[in-house]
Amino acid sequence: MDVASELFPNGGWDVHHHIFDPSRFAYSPTRHLTPPPATIDQFIAFKKKLGISKSVLTHGLSYGSDCSSLRGFVADLGEGNSKAVGVIDPDTVTPDDLHDMHRAGIRGIRVNLYQYRAMHDVELQKAALRAHASAIQKHCPGWSMAFTHTHPEFWTELKPFIEEEIVPTGIRLVTDHFALLKGSSMASVEGVTHQPGFREILDLVRAGHLYVKISAPYRVSTQAPAYEDLKPLVRAFFDANPQRVLWGSDW
């Protein structure tokens, strides 16, 4: 039995990966990042190597809010094997746009905080989350809404906002990449459970209000390749609520 079949004996889901193919779909001129190509064929080879059966293709922010590439990539991967998370402009998206996205296999959105210049401003983050939730609430039952941010200390203010304004919408809120909590190799405090935002994040996970993706460990630890210092975080998430913990390769 190979390693892949031991990890995923009956197949498994990779809930966060990207496809970038600028030869087929041009990047947005306002992008903040220009990634190298990462093609359909390359991902399929990676998926087979790990034994993954299904995946959730996450729209790359380098494509902006134009989901044409996402629709094409999902079709290539086969909707039966892949769903997707898109990016929208909540000020211009229409119900017809959202219904077209759903028919194409898209089942959630990610909030582009760069668009709002909100990466370092918690009030702008609230505005972005509020606008995106309002755009999809009535037209996309069951969809998720994901976001990535670089300031775990903001969760002190985000927690009551999420409880009061996002939870009542019924939207499934997801945060990427360990919620950007750090392993001991990168944490600025003694003990990973004492870092800012840890308690608030765990409270939301425990209550079922927040999904956390175990993904992109290189963002929160320097202990590659096994990232041993992230074990306390993973254990804390699972002990809080294993039904709210997801895994993504960030391929």
* Closest residue by Cα to residue 141 from 162, 163, 111, 171: 171
Spell out the alpha helix ranges (H) of 179-248: 198-206, 231-240
Given this model, what pLDDT does residue 42 score? 96
Given this model, what pLDDT does residue 6 score? 57
Given this model, what pLDDT does residue 8 score? 66
Given this model, what pLDDT does residue 10 score? 67
Given this model, what pLDDT does residue 22 score? 96
- Residue numbers of the chain with a pLDDT score lower than 50: 1, 4
Given this model, what pLDDT does residue 1 score? 42
Given this model, what pLDDT does residue 7 score? 64
Strands (E), 66-152: 82-86, 106-110, 144-147
Phi, psi for residue 144 in degrees, rounded to 5: -105, 165
Instruction: List, edge to edge, every strand of the sheet that includes 245-247.
Output: 13-17, 54-58, 82-86, 106-110, 144-147, 172-175, 211-214, 245-247
N-to-C CA span, the chain: 24
DSSP state of 20: B
Phi, psi for residue 161 in degrees, rounded to 5: -65, -45
Q: pTM score, two decimals?
A: 0.92
